[in-house]
Chain A
Amino acid sequence: MSMRISDLGATTAALRRLTLHMASLERARTDLGTGKRIRRPSDDIGGASRVMSLRSTVTANQQAQRNVDDALMWVNLTDTVLQDVVSRLHRAKELAVAGANATTAADGIAAEVAALRDDFVELANTTHLGRGLFAGHRAGDAVANVAGTWTYLGDAGDVTRRISETETVTVNVTADDVFGFTSGRDLFTALDDLEARLLAGDTAAVSSSIDDIDAALDDALESLSRLGGAGERLDAARSRLSGDLLTIQENLSSLEDVDLAQAVVQLEMQQAAYEAALAALRSLDLSTLASFMR
C-alpha cells in the first residue's frame, strides 16, 4: 500500500516522537541527578523488593551490633571486678597462710581480713547504670548481712543480649555463684570465721580456712572463665556482624544506586537522540512543494 502522508499526521507524529525522546532524556537526567536507580517500587519490582528486605536485615544487624556493644560493656566491667576479686582472694589466702603459721595473736592480720571482707561486699555490690552487676534481675544490693547471716539478695535472672536472629548471650554472673552461696559456704561467712579464728589464735582452725578460700578462688575463676567464653562469642559476633553489614550494604548499593559511568553514557545517548529528533522536525518544516512553485 502506498502511504499517504498528511501535514497534520506528519507534525503530530514528529511531535510525539519528540515527546518520547524528551521523556527518555528526562529519565536519564533524573537517574544521574538522584543517583538512585529505583525511586519507586514500579521502577523495578524485584529490585525494590530485595532492597526492602535487605533494609530489614540491615536494621536487625545494626541493632544486634548495638546489643553486642552493650553486652561487651557488661562483660568487660564484670571481668574487671572479678579480676579484683581474684587478686584479693590471693591476698586473703596469703593472710590465712601467715595466720596459720603465726605464733602470736594475729590482731593485725585479722584486721586486714576484715577490711578484705568489706572490699568483697563492696565488689559484690558493684553497680552499672544503677543496677547491681551481680544481683540478677533484682534492684539494690546483691549481698548483705541480714540479722547476722550473709545473704544473697538477688535472683538467678540471666541478663541476656541478642546477637543474631537465633542466638542470645548471657552476660552476667550472680554473686550467688561467684561468692559460693550456691555451694553452701559463702566467702563472707568464711572470712568472718577466719577473722574470729585469727583473733582467737586458733592456728589449726585458721588452716582449715585456707581450704575455704581455695574453694572461693575456684568459684571466682569458674565465673571468670564463663564470662571469658561469653566475651569470645561476642567478639566473634561483632566481627561477623560488621562483615555481614558491609556485604549487605554493597548489595544494597548495587541494587538501588545508579552506575555513574553507565548513567552518563545513557544521558549522552538520549541527548543525541533528542537532538536528532529536533533536526528531523526542522527538515519537516522546510520542505513543501510551495517553495518550488512560481
Chain B
Amino acid sequence: MSNFLSLYTALSGLRAAQTGLQVTADNVANVGTPGRTRQRVDLAVAASNYLPIGTVGGGVDITGVTRARDTFLDLQARESGASLGRISARADVLYRLESLFVGEGDGIAPGLHELWGAFEDLANDPSDAAARTTVIGTLDNLVSRIRTAASGIDMVARHTSAEIETTVGEVNSLLEQLGHLNSQIFAARVEGATPNALLDQRDLVVDQLSALAGVRASEDERGMMRVSSGGVTLVDGTTVQEISLEADGITITTPSGMTLNPGGSLGGLTGALVDDLPTHRERLDDFVRDLAAALNAAHAAGFTPSGAAGGDLLAFDALAPAATLATVVADPDEIAAAADPAAEPFDGGNAAALGALRFDEVGAGGTLTLDDQFRQFVVTLGSETSSALAASDSQEALWSAVETSRTNTHGVSADEEMVMLMNYQRSYEAAARVMTVIDETLEVLVNRLGVAGR
C-alpha cells in the first residue's frame, strides 16, 4: 500500500476538523441572532481504498453543512403567531374604543345625571331664569360629550383603516422579499450550494407574513416557498401577487381580482373595523335616538312661559345620530316647564315630568331607563374588551411557549459549541499527529534507505 494514500486519509480528517471549527465559529458568532438556525457539519465515512490485501478506510467525507431545523415547530409557531396577530390586533382596537368611555363613560353618565337634576331644580323654581339657563347648559354639555365620544369612535375607525393600509404595505414588501429569496435559493441550489443563511432569512419572512396576514406556507418540489392566504396564492415560486386595499378601506384584493380573507393582524384589524366598531357605534346611536325621543316627547307635553307647546329639545341626522346630535332650544324661555298653559310662571309640572324621566323605562324599546341603557352600552363594550384582552394574553402565553421551544431547538447553545470546539480541536491535533508520523516514516524510506553499513 502507498504511504501517500495515508497522507490523504489524514488530510481528510484535518479538513473535516477545520470545517467543523469554521461552522462552530459561525454558530458562536450568531449566538444572539434572531432567526438563526444552528448549523452542523455532516460527516460520512469516505469510500474505502481497495487494496490487494483487503479494504482500508479512506478517511472522512464532508457531505454538507445543514441547518438543524424542525419544520413541525415552524408550522406550530406560525399558526400560533397568526392567531396572536389576529386576536391582539382586535383587542388593541377594542381597548382604544373602551378608552373613550373610561371613568363613567367619560362624562356622559354624569352629564345625564346633571340634566335630570337641572330639570328638577327648574321644577322646584319654575320662574327662575337661572334654572332655565342651567337646563340648556346641561343639555349642551351632554350633547357635546356624546358628540366627542362619537367622533372618538370615528377616530378609532380612521386609525384602524390607516393601520390596515400600513399593514398591507408591509405584507407586500414581505411578499416581494419572499419572491426574491425564492429565486436566490433556487439559483444557489442549482449550483449545488446549501444557502443556509438565505433559508434562515426566508423563514423569518414567512414568520412575519404569518403574524401579519395569517398565511399558509409550504415548500414546493423545487424548494421554493409557496404562500397562500385563504386559498388565494400570493407567492408561487418567484411570481408574487401584490395585494391592494380597495377604496372602501376594508376589502383586500389580489391583481387577479380575488378577494382576500386574511388572518393575522390584518384579519383582526379588518374584523374590528367591519364588526366591532359598527356594532358599538350603533348601540351608542340607539341610546341617542331613545334619549332624544324621550326628551322631545316629554317636552312637547308642556308649555313655555308664552303659552306655546314645547318644541324639540334635541335633533340629529338619522344617518349618524350620535355624531350629529344638537341642542335645538337656545332661548331659556323656550323651555316648557309648565304642565298647564294657564298656570305660568309658577307651574313646574312638566319640568318635574322631564326630571322623572330619570326613572322611566324609555330606553332600549321601553325596557331600560336611559341611565341603564347607557350603562349597558359601556358594560357591553367593557366586557368585550376584557374578554378580547384575556384572549390576547393567553394566546400570547401560548405563542411565547411555542416560540421559546422553537428558539431552544433551532438556536445556538454556547455550551454545546464549546464542546464541539474541543471535539474539533482534538480531531485536528490527532489528524496532524497522524500526518507527522506518516511524514516521519516517509523520511526513513526516502533518506535512510540504502545506507546500511555506512
Contacts and interface: CB of A to CB of B under 8 A. Distances in A.
Interface of A: 3-13, 16, 39-43, 45, 48-49, 51-53, 55-56, 59-60, 62-63, 66-67, 70, 129-131, 135-139, 155, 157, 159-162, 165-166, 168, 288-290, 293
Contacts of B359: 60, 165-166
B389 A288 contact: no
A168 B50 CA distance: 117
Given A7-B31, A42-B382, A161 B124 contact: yes
Given A52-B378, A130-B127, A8 B372 contact: no
Contacts of A7: 31-32, 411-414
Contacts of B404: 9, 12-13, 16
Given A40-B382, A63-B120, A131-B346, 9 more contacts: A16-B400, A41-B381, A55-B104, A56-B358, A59-B110, A60-B358, A137-B344, A139-B127, A293-B418
Nearest to A164: B359
B23 interface: no
A57 to B, nearest CB: 9
In the A-B complex, list the 7 residue pairs whose CB atoms are closest, starting with the nearest: A41-B382, A6-B411, A42-B386, A9-B408, A9-B407, A59-B113, A137-B343
A290 B342 CA distance: 100
A162 B400 CA distance: 60
Summarize B's interface: helix, strand, loop or mixed. helix
Given A52-B104, A55-B113, A8 B385 contact: no
A290 B415 CA distance: 7
A162 B340 contact: no
The contact size tier of chain B is: 35 or more
B258 interface: no
A252 B366 CA distance: 28
Nearest to B125: A129
Contacts of B403: 12
Contacts of B102: 39-41
A139 B411 contact: no
Given A6-B408, A8-B411, A157 B121 contact: no
Contacts, number: 168
Q: Quick one: which of A45, A70, A136 has the most chain B CB within 10 A?
A: A45
Interface in B396-429: 400, 403-405, 407-415, 418-419, 422
B285 interface: no
A49 B380 CA distance: 10
Interface in B342-368: 342-347, 352, 355-356, 358-359
Contacts of A289: 414-415, 418-419
Contacts of B287: none
Contacts of A138: 343, 346
B441 interface: no
A3 B408 contact: yes
B375 A52 contact: yes
A36 B281 CA distance: 28
A137 B109 contact: no
A161 B407 CA distance: 73
A45 B342 CA distance: 50
A161 B36 CA distance: 78
B412 A157 contact: no
Contacts of B278: none
B127 A131 contact: yes
B380 to A, nearest CB: 9
B346 A137 contact: yes
A166 B358 CA distance: 12
A63 B104 contact: no
A41 B120 contact: no
A55 B36 CA distance: 57
Q: Quick one: which of B103, B389, B415, B419 has the most chain A CB within 10 A?
A: B415
Nearest to B91: A42
A12 B98 CA distance: 32
B375 A6 contact: no
Contacts of A168: 352
Given A7-B413, A8-B32, A63-B120, A42 B408 contact: no
Contacts of A62: 117
A155 B347 CA distance: 11
A66 B123 CA distance: 12
A42 B109 contact: no
B382 A48 contact: yes
Contacts of B345: 139
Contacts of A12: 403-404, 407
A157 B346 contact: yes
A5 B382 contact: no
Contact of A137 (B104, B347, B386): B347
Nearest to A59: B113
Contacts of A166: 359
B138 to A, nearest CB: 12
Nearest to A56: B371
Interface string B97-135: 011011111000110011011001101110110000000
Interface string B155-167: 0000000000000
B86 interface: no
B198 interface: no
29 contacts: A3-B408, A4-B408, A4-B409, A5-B413, A6-B38, A6-B410, A7-B413, A9-B404, A12-B407, A40-B382, A41-B385, A42-B385, A45-B382, A45-B383, A51-B104, A55-B104, A55-B109, A56-B358, A56-B371, A62-B117, A66-B117, A129-B128, A137-B347, A138-B346, A139-B345, A155-B342, A162-B120, A289-B414, A293-B418
B111 to A, nearest CB: 11
B34 A8 contact: yes
A63 B122 CA distance: 12
A189 to B, nearest CB: 26
B442 interface: no
B348 to A, nearest CB: 8
Contacts of B187: none
B379 interface: yes
